[in-house]
Amino acid sequence: MRIDRAVTAYLRHVSIERGLSEHTVAAYRRDLGDYVGWLTEQGVRDTTDVTPDVVARYVADRAAASPPPAASSLARLQSSVRGLHRYLAREGIEDEDVSTRLRPPKAARRLPQALTIEQVERLLAAPSGEDPIGLRDRALLELMYATGARVSEVVTLDVDDLMGGGGATGNGSTGDIVRLRGKGDKERIVPVGSFARAAVDAYLTRVRPELSLRGRATPRLFLGARGAPLSRQSAWLVIRAAAEKAGISAHVSPHTLRHSFATHLLQGGADVRVVQELLGHASVATTQIYTHVTVDALRDVYATSHPRAR
């Protein structure tokens, strides 16, 4: 089978039969597009001409690029290639899986970058004023830090996901818990603090009704200036603009707020398993990376405070 047709069949399989998200399928498409391009440059156009050595040379070539790719990027690329060749072998298109020799590179263990509490306060205060977009942006930032939600979880929130008895409560105020839908559509319930509730209340009562009249009816909580649901890219821009206005020189992304949420909880004495549930991690091992952040902070305090630490 022609390699480009094989990739098309595989992407259709993961999209329709396995039901992977559009975001994941798009990542596979990018990775495999690079793979097909490289194979074509080598004169390989049919799946029968792909051997284990060819696959290994492709990975070695990409690993030797300048600047070198991150271990996580290389691992994702290998995963895409392995998935394609496993599929071809399983479907009987090829006799063997030529990618079985590939071993994912070891990813460097990087600690999450978290803001200080003072930096978070400056960030949350950045959207000042009473204009509609400022009120919306403040509600977005407050809710992200209050819940530790991923940006994809926040922009897909519906108004009815603000709970406390079902959506907004009867007295017109926001409920004190929110329903988030994480990876694999797994739902979790997360409390919402008073600052975020107040910010979201202001947005719901004073801004969202006006924005909703500018576009088609939608249950989405956060809307753009034209009334359409707020996109991931727009949420990124909100955070970037707030960080710039707050004078925070460190790189700030939606995940920075999530990291800060987890780190500040652990610094405040929260149990790691509670933080695991709040973040929606399938394994506590994923959450435990944040404990290293707090241990480093403790080590610094010890080194500067204890009379016999040095």
Same domain, 130 and 252: yes
Banded model confidence at residue 220, pLDDT cuts 50, 70, 90: very high
Same domain, 181 and 268: yes
Same domain, 11 and 153: no
Residue 143 has pLDDT above 50, yes or no: yes
Banded model confidence at residue 167, pLDDT cuts 50, 70, 90: very low
Residue 44 has pLDDT above 70, yes or no: yes
22-26, 101-105, 142-146: least confidently modelled range: 101-105
Same domain, 83 and 124: no
Q: What does each C-alpha distance from 272 to 130, 251, 255, 259, 283 come to in angstroms?
A: 38, 26, 18, 13, 11
Same domain, 192 and 289: yes
Residue 299 has pLDDT above 80, yes or no: no
Q: What is the pLDDT of residue 175?
A: 62
CATH of the domain at 63: 1.10.150.130
Q: Which residues are catalytic?
A: 150, 183, 255, 258, 281, 290
Nearest to 220 by CA among 278, 174, 153: 153
Same domain, 81 and 135: no
Which helix (H) or strand (E) segment holds residue 180: the answer is strand 177-181
The domain in which residue 72 lies consists of: 3-90
- For residue 106, the one-letter residue type is K
158 or 304: which carries more pLDDT confidence?
Answer: 158
Q: What is the pLDDT of residue 113?
A: 78
Q: What does the pLDDT average to over 178-192?
A: 88
Residue 295 has pLDDT above 70, yes or no: no
Same domain, 169 and 279: yes
CATH of the domain at 234: 1.10.443.10
DSSP 187-245: EEEEE--HHHHHHHHHHHHHTHHHHHTTS----BSSB-TTSSBPPHHHHHHHHHHHHHH
Tens digits of residue pLDDT in 229-286: 999 999 999 999 999 999 998 888 888 899 999 989 988 888 888 889 898 887 777 7
